[in-house]
């Protein structure tokens, strides 16, 4: 491999001195050939642009021919770039191709936004928040239920039997949306703002990475299409991601020598701004600050390292406060309730993490709150492990925080996917060698003769509480037994009411809220038409449930799996029962 990447020279020329040799008209220095892995990385980034391009072209070809022509030109650029990436002879030429791939990705992203920019619930909420700011009205703790009647806008059910209609993020994204309010209605202004931020962030990350690695930024930020998709949905987390990119790129050099400098001040400000855009950076920040302290203390004394961390923290907090200042003054109570809403709203369980045990593989649990306890305990445990073993875990600082959500009641893969560019930036710019001299706390009991058993015991003590908590949650049983005794129809393919016999097997009275589901997602709640709202402890009651909007269409597929679910808020529980088609009046 080494020979393939090194220009061949003749034996005669090998013996000439590089200093004394004078290039003649036919003797020039050989161009620097690109490494083969650089070619492959450029090619992979180029290939990643095919993902989703056909769907967008098909959509454009029906009614937006100009965009279809632009996308066709992007196809040509992808093909030509693929050929040149494998054949150019100079590293500089390959670096220019990396730029071509980036520009092509940006054009495809903008074309896709032009065709699909209405957005979902995140976008319409952010746009509405921006309009309220412009009008000088209250933003937080103020429901906007009419927004959720728009097509494509999903509801977030809560265990209280209702839905969350309020804005629940810090205010930076609505502030960035203000200049785009003239673009249209629904969520278009927010999707435009977030898409522009993502493109700018991709360019910044592309520039900050070493030249041979730049196509990796194009590929992971724009090429696989999932981050542009989240941007077209108006997710504030994309804004937070972009602001974190300059922070985590080479983060171990932040405050080197005890000084921040202009660059360090700007990066600390970006950290504060990211925390003012969305709540996910709140989980990453402790890991970064702990890592910065450990690395700086490896070269400075403890006080100097602490001063660096305090400066970074102070600048970040000041930036965060400046962005939030208007809301702190005008609506302090609603503001604080709004920015902590994802932690307090009581949304129903959902996601690809361990909560799926109770949601899909069993009939529920009467101890769902323990999933939340487990996630918080895991966060503390991972931070403790990171501090104890920073020389080994340091490069994983941008990955470890997201493990917390695998145990949470809301564990959607978006929490991981949207932060993957940070994994890339850290992997390229903060290798393991950066942590060789990092400070690791070693109390006397960890430096004793039996060091390895002591460290193993420390790991077990830190992780065990989270594991026990998630075990308690997953092994809980459904507190309610339910049986459908009657189904009423408005038509042969639509339900209007269900009569359900409900038995509370627990020792606490429960107030359940019911829904009928047919897939992995949640549906709308069925309202209580007759019967008690609260089922007493060890009691049985018959309730009549009315379908949402008066009618529940039944799927025509015989293989459809129906599940009747009942959520309770206090304590947070889930009870599920499989429903046969015959119980719903289906035949065949």
> Residue 25: pLDDT band by 50, 70, 90 thresholds?
very low
Tell me, letter by letter, the H, E, C secondary structure of 422-474: HHHHHHHHCCHHHHCCCCCCCCHHHCCCCHHHHHHHHHHHHHHHHHHHHHHHH
- State the CB neighbour count (10 A cutoff) for residue 352: 15
- Rounded Cα gap, residues 187 and 114, in angstroms: 13
- Rounded Cα gap, residues 355 and 98, in angstroms: 42
Query: Can you say how many angstroms the Cα of residue 572 is from the centroid of all Cα atoms in its chain?
Result: 25
Rounded to 5 degrees, φ, ψ at 46 are: -65, -45
- Rounded Cα gap, residues 150 and 190, in angstroms: 15
Res 211 pLDDT > 70: yes
- Taking only the tens place, the pLDDT of each residue in 262-310 is 999 999 999 999 999 999 999 999 999 999 999 999 999 999 999 999 9
Please give the pLDDT value at position 452. 77
- Taking only the tens place, the pLDDT of each residue in 31-89 is 688 999 999 999 999 999 999 999 999 999 988 999 999 999 999 999 999 999 999 99
Tell me, letter by letter, the H, E, C secondary structure of 246-308: HHHCCHHHCCHHHCCHHHHHHHHHHHHHHHCCCCHHHHHHHHHHHHHHHHHHHHCCHHHHHHH
- Rounded Cα gap, residues 516 and 539, in angstroms: 23
Tokens (6 digits) for 191: 């999707």
- Rounded Cα gap, residues 459 and 389, in angstroms: 10
As a whole number, mean pLDDT of residues 123-129 equals 95
- Rounded Cα gap, residues 88 and 546, in angstroms: 68
As a whole number, mean pLDDT of residues 223-230 equals 93
- Taking only the tens place, the pLDDT of each residue in 384-413 is 999 999 999 999 999 999 999 999 998 888
Tokens (6 digits) for 2: 């080494």
Please give the pLDDT value at position 21. 41
Q: At what angle do helices 36-48 and 65-87 cross, to 10 degrees?
A: 170
- Taking only the tens place, the pLDDT of each residue in 108-125 is 999 999 999 989 999 999
Look at 178-192, 425-439, 553-567 and tell me which has the smallest mean pLDDT. Answer: 553-567
> Residue 154: pLDDT band by 50, 70, 90 thresholds?
confident
- Taking only the tens place, the pLDDT of each residue in 465-512 is 999 999 999 999 999 999 999 999 988 888 999 999 999 998 999 999
To the nearest whole number, what is the mean pLDDT of the chain? 90
Rounded to 5 degrees, φ, ψ at 137 are: -100, 170
> Residue 27: pLDDT band by 50, 70, 90 thresholds?
very low
First to last CA, the chain: 64
Angle at 89 between CA 84 and CA 94, to 5 degrees: 55
Res 9 pLDDT > 50: no
């Amino acid at each position: 491999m080494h020979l393939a990447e090194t220009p061949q020279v003749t034996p005669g020329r090998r013996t000439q001195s590089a200093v004394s040799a004078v290039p003649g008209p036919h003797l020039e220095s050989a161009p620097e050939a690109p490494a083969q892995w650089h070619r492959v990385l450029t090619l992979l980034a180029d290939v990643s642009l095919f993902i989703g391009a056909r769907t967008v072209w098909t959509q454009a070809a029906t009614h937006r021919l100009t965009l279809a022509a632009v996308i066709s030109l992007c196809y040509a650029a992808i093909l030509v770039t693929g050929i040149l990436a494998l054949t150019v002879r100079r590293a500089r030429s390959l670096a220019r191709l990396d730029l071509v791939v980036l520009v092509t990705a940006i054009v495809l992203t903008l074309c896709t936004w032009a065709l699909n920019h209405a957005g979902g619930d995140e976008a319409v909420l952010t746009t509405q928040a921006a309009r309220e700011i412009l009008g000088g009205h209250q933003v937080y703790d103020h429901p906007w239920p009419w927004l959720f009647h728009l097509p494509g806008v999903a509801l977030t059910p809560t265990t209280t039997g209702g839905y969350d209609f309020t804005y629940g993020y810090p205010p930076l994204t609505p502030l960035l949306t203000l200049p785009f309010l003239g673009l249209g209605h629904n969520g278009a202004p927010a999707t435009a703002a977030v898409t522009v931020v993502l493109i700018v962030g991709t360019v910044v990350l592309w520039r900050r990475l070493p030249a041979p690695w730049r196509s990796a930024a194009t590929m992971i930020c724009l090429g696989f299409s999932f981050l542009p998709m989240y941007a077209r949905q108006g997710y504030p987390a994309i804004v937070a991601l972009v602001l974190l990119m300059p922070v985590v790129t080479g983060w171990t050099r932040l405050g080197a020598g005890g000084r921040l400098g202009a660059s360090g001040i700007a990066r600390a400000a970006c950290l504060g701004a990211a925390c003012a855009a969305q709540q996910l950076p709140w989980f990453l920040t402790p890991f970064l600050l702990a890592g910065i302290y450990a690395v700086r203390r490896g070269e400075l004394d403890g006080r100097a390292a602490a001063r660096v961390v305090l400066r970074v923290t102070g600048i970040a907090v000041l930036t965060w406060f400046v962005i939030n200042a208007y809301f702190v003054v005008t609506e302090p109570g609603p503001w604080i309730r709004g920015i902590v809403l994802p932690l307090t709203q009581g949304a129903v369980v959902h996601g690809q993490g361990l909560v799926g045990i109770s949601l899909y593989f069993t009939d529920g649990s009467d101890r769902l709150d323990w999933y939340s306890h487990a996630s918080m305990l895991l966060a503390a445990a991972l931070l403790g492990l990171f501090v104890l073993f920073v020389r080994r875990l340091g490069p994983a600082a941008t990955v470890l925080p997201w493990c917390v959500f695998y145990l949470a009641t809301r564990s959607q893969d978006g929490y991981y996917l949207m932060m993957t560019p940070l994994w890339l930036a850290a992997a390229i710019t903060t290798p393991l060698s950066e942590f060789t001299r990092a400070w690791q706390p070693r109390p006397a009991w960890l430096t004793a003769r039996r060091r390895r058993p002591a460290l193993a015991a420390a790991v077990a003590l830190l992780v065990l509480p989270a594991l026990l908590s998630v075990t308690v949650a997953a092994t809980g049983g459904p507190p309610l037994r339910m049986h459908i005794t009657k189904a009423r129809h408005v038509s042969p393919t639509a339900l209007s009411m269900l009569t359900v016999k409900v038995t509370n097997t627990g020792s606490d009275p429960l107030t359940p809220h019911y829904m009928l589901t047919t897939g992995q997602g949640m549906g709308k709640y069925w309202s209580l038409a007759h019967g008690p709202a609260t089922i007493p402890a060890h009691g049985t009651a018959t309730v009549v449930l009315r379908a949402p909007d008066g009618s529940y269409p039944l799927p025509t597929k015989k293989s459809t799996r129906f599940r009747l679910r009942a959520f309770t808020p206090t304590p947070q529980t889930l009870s599920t029962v499989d429903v046969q088609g015959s119980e719903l009046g289906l035949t065949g």
